[in-house]
Amino acid sequence: MRDVNFKLTIDILKKNKIDYWVCHGTLLGIIRDRKLLAWDNDIDIGVLENNFNKKKIIPMFLEEGFEKKKKFFADDGLVTFVREGGKEVDLNFYNFLTDGNNSSKNTLYVNWYVTRNYLMKLIFALSQAGTFTGKYKKVINLFGYLKYFFDKFLKILIKKKLFYKRAGYQHPYYFVKELKTVIFEGVSINIPCKEHEYLSCIYGKDWKIPKRKFDWEKDSPATKVYKN
């Protein structure tokens, strides 16, 4: 089934002449399964931040009926848009990896903020108790009367930089230095020229074998944890 937000996203990027590539799980589904992964709830798009400031992209999506998902950190390399009727859209802003004061043109990285450990994940879930929709929601929602306390506690942990850690994918620039155009569900899209090498880097040599419970933090060869 065609996802309307996928097509609209590509249209927005083309209209504004933004260089992009379809990446991560979205590319995996297109190349391996010839469709978007049913269990993947977002559209993954890669953009080189050096070529385009992410602040300029936000109004482009808002004008087309998307809403920007709230984030805690301004320097997060991920901007997420939501719009009724389709999947969420993740714009991943990649940068060249720096070594001290020197910038390398060989490696790209994206910086995300992720929950530091299982205890923090539990605190986050309890901060949404009563309306939580994730795993173990029946148990978590029993603690709705504690929502206010855990919400305040969560904000303290975030302020003290104890809740999140910085992590993300890191891969050779040459994977996406040159892009090629393919047709997917009637839409012309940009993907890495070396898409098989790219997918092997992100998902491992067995990327052609479906793995619904793939954990990018533990299972991806490309995952790196950065110093805060």
At residue 203, the pLDDT reads 97
Judge contact between 43 and 5, C-beta under 8 A.
yes
| 2-26 pLDDT, tens digit each | 899 999 999 999 999 999 999 999 9
| 98-128 pLDDT, tens digit each | 765 555 679 999 999 888 899 999 999 999 8
At residue 33, the pLDDT reads 96
At residue 53, the pLDDT reads 77
Note the pTM of the prediction, 2 decimals. 0.87
At residue 78, the pLDDT reads 93
The domain limits of the chain are 4-111+165-226, 117-162
Query: Which regions of 60-174 does DSSP assign to beta strands (E)?
Result: 67-68, 78-82, 88-99, 102-109, 112-115, 164-172
At residue 72, the pLDDT reads 65
At residue 214, the pLDDT reads 92
pLDDT classification of 70: cutoffs 50, 70, 90: confident
Q: What helix, strand, coil percent values describe the chain, rounded to 5?
A: 35, 30, 35
At residue 29, the pLDDT reads 97
At residue 98, the pLDDT reads 76
DSSP state of 73: -
Dihedral, CA of residue 93, residue 28, residue 8 and residue 192, to nearest 10: 60
At residue 101, the pLDDT reads 53
- Cα–Cα nearest to 27, from 192, 218, 188: 192
pLDDT > 80? residue 73: no
| CATH number for the domain whose boundaries are 4-111+165-226 | 3.30.460
pLDDT > 80? residue 51: no
At residue 89, the pLDDT reads 97
